[in-house]
Structure 1
Amino acid sequence: MTITGVDSRYLEAISGAGPGSGRLRFLHGGTGSPVVLLHTVRTQAEHFQGLIPLLLADHSVFALDLPGMGYSDIEPGASYEEPAMRSAVIRLIEQLDLQNVTLIGESMGAVLALTAAVSVPDRVRRVIAVNAYDYAGESQDPVLSLGSSCRASSRPGWARRSQGSNPGPSCGRSCAEGSSTSPA
């Protein structure tokens, strides 16, 4: 499948570096403010084939194949739990030195967008989380718990209020300060 104006690129594997360090494939195209697209389970970057062309005129688009999916490496013995997947998202953002990023995720990708934003708030401008997947059980990971709290605080008024603002880091600040609702 080919998407006009987009090419396939790779972040090479980092030997012995831990979770999310395998070879990662991503699609890239466009110029402007960076948008990182995060797909759901058992799909790949082309999951966003209808959205990518709409973004290319105004944005530099990075659609990541999450570890073990699409054309990214399947690492023997690797974890595919949320913290390991989040590490791959953060690796993409940091290794490409992306700033003022908009993270857009669907289902599992939505959770990764939320938790990555909490992990690197200085690099994330906004998050669009669509149909966020709710990891089962209580998490011992404080970042995943914080992402879940922020997801739970998202209400219809939050989206309207946040347009043009900075919901990623402010969500992290609100949740870290103990607020269970979106800022007024």
Structure 2
Amino acid sequence: MATSQAGRLESGKNERPPLPRRNRVRRRLKRTAAVVSGLLAVLVAAALVLAYAYHPAGVDNPRSAYLSTVDSRFVDTELARFHYVQAGEGPPVVLVHGGGEWAYSYRDTIAALARSHRVYAVDLPGHGYTELHRNDFGFTIDSMAGSLATFLDALGLTRVSLVGHSWGGGWALRFAETRPDRVERLALIDSNGVEYPDVFDWRVLEYPVVGEVVMNLMGKDSA
């Protein structure tokens, strides 16, 4: 009996008393916080790579057979290497695509207008085959309207007619508002307005990193 009791006492010396419940909860929270912090660090690193290190392939590796059927051109500027489709002869008209689109969205319009105009369907920064040279470009309505001015300057176009669709209508409208001397006519197709904020889905693109990631990942039409 004495031996059995001594054995139990000896065994008890090696057993660690259970941690209080509060300490166990704290340990779990610390482990969870470490895991979450690690995941956030990976996500932030991936976002930075996609925003500033990843550059979508340009026309050197075209994804669209459409480009082989039209007069696809580039003009290089300090801001970006602008891609555009040119057709026709006559008074200049510039076609501005909507958000997430590119010159291909105007494929039928280009052919119709080219009968009486020189048409320029441009891919603005973050769209189509245009490649940005600057990582600090903000996808705001003013910066996009400014990029349109940069494109026109590069081609020596002092005064043009503008056509803008959807979000591109807002960019064209903003350009006309700030530079009316350079706009002959303005046509808006299902456009947003300058004085009304975009829906949240689009406004998030104005934030650093987020806008760059989304625009870099936007694919081109596969046609």
Matched, 1:111 2:111: no
For 1:114 and 1:70, the matched residues in 2 are separated by: 21
Amino acid at match of 1:126: R
Task: State the partner residue of 2:72.
Answer: 8
Is 1:76–2:135 an aligned residue pair? yes
Residue 184 of structure 2 aligns to a residue in which SS? Answer: strand
Instruction: Provide TM-score, normalisation by structure 2.
Output: 0.54
Once the two structures are superposed, residues 106-137 of structure 1 have per-residue CA deviations (whole angstroms, 9 ceiling, x without a partner) of 01111111111122222211100111124686
Flag the structure with more relative contact order, 1 or 2, with Cα contacts below 8 A and sequence separation at least 6: 2
- Pick closer, same or farther for the CA change 1:131–1:138 going to 2, 3 Å: closer
Correspondence for 2:33: none
CA distance in 2: counterparts of 1:83 and 1:77, whole angstroms = 14
Q: Which residue of 2 aligns with 1:166?
A: none
In the alignment, is the contact (CA less than 8 A) between 1:30 and 1:57 conserved in 2?
yes
Distance in 2 (CA, whole Å) between partners of 1:136 and 1:34 is 28
Q: Work out the number of aligned pairs and report it.
A: 133
The alignment yields a C-alpha RMSD, in angstroms, of 2.4
Counterpart mapping for 1:160-179 below 5 A: none
| Residue 84 of structure 2, aligned match among 26, 46, 60 | 26
The aligned amino acid for 1:90 is A
Give TM-score scaled by structure 1 length: 0.65
1:33 CA drift (Å): 0.5
**What is the identity percentage for the equivalent residue pairs of Structure 1 and Structure 2?**
30
Higher helix share: 2
Deviates more, 1:104-113 or 1:92-101: 92-101
Distance 1:32 1:137, change over 3 A: closer
